[in-house]
């Protein structure tokens, strides 16, 4: 280890010499790796956002209970009391037609103008029922049995659809990781083998002088790591830019989508991409060196 540190300058110089030896190949590989990691980071980011949305929606378990139009005030109060008595219900609040209209106007934001096209308020009054998310399914069934309830709406369907989308994204993400990983491994391993072949005379001399395999291999390992880590780094920079743009596009027109904080999303995605590039760099270089049989 101490000897490696003493020779660090030499290893870095050798790594640069190797990089220059096949400059164009290395540059193209670097760009390909960066592109693969960028696509991967986009898939990972959207997957992450979907998970975050599901998590947030699950925390905000609310059931909207629409009551029959011909129900009397007394029956409405009795119904409210019955709903409140159901275990797991944390609160019931009457939302008037006007309030429902205002809520939708707030959600639509700049697009709220569309509501002016209605001659009458198209929204019904309803009972906004806050529930324990873990008991939402049971409460939903019990509400259906109550008289005076016309229609029930909860976010389970939305959750289910997002969940399906997330599952698809997970599969896509894993496929992307496998594809980008395999491509990176093949590219790095091939470049290392090519480098070893082109430097075979120097390597042979070093072996005859008694250089240990680790001494010979380190510059090659640094080249592999440099390419993947550099590619990963470039990909995270592009990801930061893409996420920033994406948030600008999404957050303003769709303010009700519970997006995770941009900095947290970027930090987590970067961590995944850089860790992956580090692992793939080491693995690819090791594969290339093993195939080249750098031994005494």
Partner 1 sequence: MITANDMTLTYNDGTEALRGINLKIQSGELVYITGPSGSGKTSLIKLLMGAEKPTAGQLQVLNLSLPQAGEKDLLQLRQQIGPVFQELKLIDGRSVLENVVLGMRFLEIPSQQWRSRASEALEKVRISHKMMSKAEHLSWGERQRVAIARAIARKPSLILADEPTGNLDHDNAVNILQLLDSLRNQDTSVIITTHATHLIDRQRTSQLIHISEGRIVPQ
Binding site for partner 1 (CB under 8 A): 3, 6-7, 10, 17, 201-202, 204-212, 215, 295-296
Nearer to partner 1, 133 or 212 (CB): 212
Nearer to partner 1, 7 or 32 (CB): 7
Nearer to partner 1, 206 or 229 (CB): 206
Long-range contacts of 132-138 (CB under 8 A, 24+ apart): 132/61, 132/88, 132/89, 132/90, 133/58, 133/59, 133/61, 134/88, 135/87, 135/88, 136/61, 136/63, 136/88, 138/88
Q: How far apart are CA 203 and CA 56, in angstroms?
A: 58
The least distance separating partner 1 from the CB of residue 211, rounded to whole angstroms, comes to 5
Nearer to partner 1, 214 or 263 (CB): 214
The least distance separating partner 1 from the CB of residue 281, rounded to whole angstroms, comes to 24
The least distance separating partner 1 from the CB of residue 9, rounded to whole angstroms, comes to 10
The least distance separating partner 1 from the CB of residue 261, rounded to whole angstroms, comes to 49
The least distance separating partner 1 from the CB of residue 5, rounded to whole angstroms, comes to 10
Nearer to partner 1, 73 or 201 (CB): 201
Nearer to partner 1, 11 or 101 (CB): 11
Q: In 3D, which of 159, 175, 227 has the Cα closest to residue 39?
A: 175
The least distance separating partner 1 from the CB of residue 197, rounded to whole angstroms, comes to 16
Q: In 3D, which of 4, 22, 57 has the Cα closest to residue 192?
A: 22
- The residues that bridge with 89 in the sheet, in sequence order, are 131
Nearer to partner 1, 160 or 204 (CB): 204
Name the token pair of 249. 């596009």
Nearer to partner 1, 223 or 280 (CB): 223
| Phi and psi, residue 91, nearest 5° | 175, 150
Burial code (b: 16+ CB inside 10 Å, e: under 16) for 97-123 equals eeebbeeeeeebeeeeeeeeeeeeeeb
- Decide: helix, strand or coil at residue 220: helix
Q: Are 222 and 15 in contact (CB under 8 A)?
A: yes
The least distance separating partner 1 from the CB of residue 288, rounded to whole angstroms, comes to 20
- Decide: helix, strand or coil at residue 44: helix
The least distance separating partner 1 from the CB of residue 202, rounded to whole angstroms, comes to 5
H-type helices in 114-252, by residue range?
136-145, 156-198, 200-208, 213-251
């Amino acid at each position: 280890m101490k000897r490696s540190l003493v020779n660090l300058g030499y290893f870095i110089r050798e790594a640069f010499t190797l990089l220059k030896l096949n400059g164009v190949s290395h540059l193209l590989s670097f760009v390909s790796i960066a592109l693969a990691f960028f696509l991967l980071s986009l898939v990972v980011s959207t997957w992450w956002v979907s998970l975050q949305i599901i998590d947030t929606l699950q925390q905000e378990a609310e059931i909207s209970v629409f009551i029959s139009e011909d129900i009397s005030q007394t029956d409405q109060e009795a119904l409210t009391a019955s709903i409140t008595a159901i275990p797991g219900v944390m609160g019931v609040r009457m939302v008037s037609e006007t309030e429902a209209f205002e809520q939708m106007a707030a959600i639509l934001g700049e697009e709220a103008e569309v509501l002016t096209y209605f001659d009458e308020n198209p929204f019904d009054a309803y009972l906004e029922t806050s529930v324990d998310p873990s008991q939402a399914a049971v409460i939903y069934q019990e509400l259906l049995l109550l008289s005076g309830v016309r229609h029930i709406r909860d976010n389970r369907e939305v959750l289910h659809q997002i969940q399906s989308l997330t599952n698809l994204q997970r599969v896509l993400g894993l496929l992307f990781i496998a594809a980008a990983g395999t491509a990176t491994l093949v590219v790095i391993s091939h470049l290392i083998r090519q480098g070893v072949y082109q430097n075979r005379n120097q390597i042979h001399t070093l072996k005859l002088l008694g250089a240990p395999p680790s001494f010979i291999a380190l510059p090659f390992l640094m080249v592999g790591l440099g390419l993947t880590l550099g590619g990963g780094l470039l990909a995270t920079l592009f990801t930061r830019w893409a996420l920033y743009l994406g948030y600008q596009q999404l957050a303003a027109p769709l303010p009700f989508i519970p997006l995770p904080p941009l900095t947290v999303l970027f930090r987590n995605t970067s961590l995944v991409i850089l860790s992956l590039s580090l692992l793939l760099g080491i693995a690819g270089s090791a594969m290339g060196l093993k195939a080249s049989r750098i031994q005494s």
